[in-house]
Amino acid sequence: MAKKPLIDLNSMNIEYEQDNKTIKLKTFNKKSMTVDISIWENGQFIESTTIVFAHLPKSVKSKIKPL
């Protein structure tokens, strides 16, 4: 059986700080190597967007890479 190309990261609660904003990871698409994220500032939701896996900090990449 093939591995799923889309991995749900919500249950892992992976987040990091960047420019006084909290970035929370939602899903990781193995096929396109992109991550869906939500951006929060002062506890308030700002937006949801998609970024390239390569743009994540190394500490965050190491938590996702074994998947």
User: Model's pTM, two decimal places?
Assistant: 0.86
pLDDT recorded at residue 67: 63
Please write the tens of the pLDDT for every residue from 29-54: 999 999 999 999 999 999 999 999 99
Residue range of the domain that includes 10: 6-64
Tell me, yes or no, whether 1 lies in a domain.
Answer: no
Count the domains in the chain.
Answer: 1
Query: What is the distance between the alpha carbons of residues 67 and 61, in angstroms, rounded to a whole number?
Result: 10
φ, ψ of residue 8 in degrees (nearest 5): -80, 120
Is 50 inside any structural domain?
Answer: yes
Backbone angles phi, psi at 62, to 5 degrees: -65, -25
Three-state SS for 54?
helix
Assign 49 to helix, strand or coil: strand
Pair of tokens at residue 41: 């500032």
The pLDDT value given to residue 2? 57
Mean pLDDT across the stretch 14-21?
96
